[in-house]
Homo-oligomer: A and B are copies of this chain.
Amino acid sequence: MIKIVIIGSGNVAHHLIKAFTQSKEINVIQVFAREKKSINLLPDFTTIITNYNELVEADLYIIAVSDDAIASVSSQLPFKNRLIVHTSGTVSIDSLDSKNRKGIFYPLQTFSKDKEVDFSQIPICLESENEIDFELLKKVAENISNNVFEINSEQRKALHVSAVFVNNFANHLYQIGNEICIENNVPFEILKPLILETANKIMTLSPKEAQTGPAKRNDNQTIQAHLEFLTNENQAKIYKILTQSIQNNGKKL
């Protein structure tokens, strides 16, 4: 049985605890939360503590707190030479205090408290300073996910920037689509199958192969008509820059 302590009570902590409690090889022996009431998804048998001095010995401590709190939390841990990982896509492994052994346990997914996720499909990106720790992290990750990767801090940075494009920015485009629908009295529902198919398409085609639309086929008449249609300056600016980017595709700018 691998003994794990989770430090944090946000979205990532919640979903991790939920996934671990379904594994027979992992025991979440303690959860540290600044405020006890923030942990309401936990099984009753999990011990919730609010004081670092109550932390017991474990094989792995997972710090799942906001990026800017990671360094401070890791420096407050009242022990040495144990394995400590954080779950952030952006924070360097060096932000963890050197008195303990360091690692990264980064589940690459968008988490909302109210939305169930299937952890088995979520890629987990691992990094550690030494091989024995890596083997433990791998074992833990493979207990909850079928997609486990070794990713160093530089690669993780690239992944996180990419994730901003494919997740945060793509979602913002959905929002612009939604706004245009609302302004023109069209149900946004009509676009949902298209949104799903757009994402599904690149499971089998590369994004470059999957690209369609007026920009791709240099249909300037349609592009002009769209720009005349868009009275919102911000929307028009985004339309222009993305159209240009598609048209310049392959050219390094």
Contacts and interface: CB of A to CB of B under 8 A. Distances in A.
A169 B171 CA distance: 11
Interface stretch (A32-40, A93-101, A127-135, A185-193): A185-193
Interface stretch (A22-30, A46-54, A76-84, A153-161): A153-161
Given A165-B180, A186-B159, A202-B171, A252 B232 contact: yes
Contacts of A177: 162-163, 165-166, 207
Contacts of A69: none
Contacts of A187: 149
Contact of A166 (B195, B206, B234): B195
Contact of A184 (B110, B147, B155, B242): B155
Contacts of A212: 110, 112, 167-168, 171
A219 B67 contact: yes
A206 B181 CA distance: 13
Contacts of A112: 201, 205, 210, 212
Contact of A191 (B159, B191, B196, B232): B159
Nearest to A200: B196
A195 B203 CA distance: 9
Contacts of A71: none
Interface string A204-241: 11111011111110010110011001101110011101
Number of copies: 2
Contacts of A195: 166-167, 170, 199, 202
Interface residues of A, number: 96
Nearest to A251: B234
A246 interface: yes
A226 B161 contact: yes
Given A110-B197, A158-B181, A163-B177, 18 more contacts: A67-B219, A108-B191, A108-B194, A112-B201, A151-B190, A157-B225, A161-B230, A162-B186, A162-B191, A164-B215, A167-B195, A167-B213, A168-B215, A169-B239, A170-B199, A172-B242, A176-B245, A196-B200
